[in-house]
Amino acid sequence: MSQKNDFKAFSISNNANVVSQEKYEGNQSLQVGFPPDNISTHVLNKVLRQSSTIASVIANFIATQSGDDILDDGDIAKLTAKLNQALKQKVTAEIPNASLTQKGVVQLTNEIGNNDTLAVTQKLVQEIISSLRGNIDGKVSNSRKINGKTLTEDINLNASDVGAYTRTEVYTRSEVYTRAEVDKLIKTASEIPVGAPIPWPLAHPPIGYFTCNGSTFNKLQYPKLAEAYPDGRLPDLRGEFIRGWDDGRGVDAGRALLTNQNDALQDLKGSFKGDGEVAVTTEGVFANGGAVSGKYGAQNDNVGYKTIFDAARVARTSHETRPRNIAFNYIVKAE
């Protein structure tokens, strides 16, 4: 339901009988008023339109904000009260309460607390400062001492007062490094050549590294890695041992870099002795297998002894030859 407003704007149509704004501002009556015997109606209409329009707008504002009817009953006090009510309603509705994220109306307080919507007064701030000063002043008594010096005045301490180490020697150039030299040493120490196999304790390599599993790589994308492995394929070090290149020493002659070598067993030797029906005496990797039938040797007597070869009699054996070892995942730096 809309509120009633008795105050209406006068002569507001497009073809209203009013003087133009330019002529109105230049009319002598604007300064001295209308003469008693000569009142121009179109100038009078202009005056009435301006005053009535303002009155109508204000009255409509009061009615909208207060929710009451605005009547032309001559009650100035009531109209004034409603205007104040309308202004208060407008301010209250459009200016919110202040918060940590919103500007607005805030309430002051003289009490210490944990509320984040109240603002402290100057009085409370001063009380807090005074309280802190009192606590600080009472923490350390001036009867206490530091290294034999009382706290009644400023104290100057030298290195010996606090047990600091004083060195009088002068460092020579061999003991002093520039910042650039230190940075270079740190950088060099942390640098790992691209393509160098690195034992890694995890199943997956860190970022920027590849697993040595025989896979191919893009030589254009990783040119430094291609310098180490020109064929674009990583070495397959899964289950393999790395051996130092012979390089003319003669221990593993004839080997080229990155060539594979199958496993091999160092020569194992043993011996056995026997004659005819006499049991065989064995040593080393040989074992006596007992008598067997058949024609053996020069005596042709259908009696002989079997000799067994078993390397496990003198060494640990498996399906491969290997040293003692710990399993790591070999990786290489990609770039």
As averages over each run of 10 residues, the pLDDT of the chain (335 residues) reads 84 88 86 85 88 91 87 88 86 75 81 81 85 70 70 74 69 73 68 91 94 96 95 95 92 91 76 59 72 55 65 78 89 93
Residue 262's pLDDT is 87
177/183 Cα distance (integer angstroms): 10
294 and 174 Cβ atoms separated by less than 8 Å: no
Residue 235's pLDDT is 95
3-state secondary structure of 123: helix
What's the Cα-to-Cα distance from 323 to each of 61, 252, 267, 313, 316, rounded to whole Å?
Answer: 99, 17, 16, 18, 11
Residue 143's pLDDT is 67
Residue 217's pLDDT is 95
Domain boundaries defined on the chain: 21-94, 108-137, 195-246+272-335
Homologous superfamily, domain 195-246+272-335 = Phage tail collar domain (3.90.1340.10)
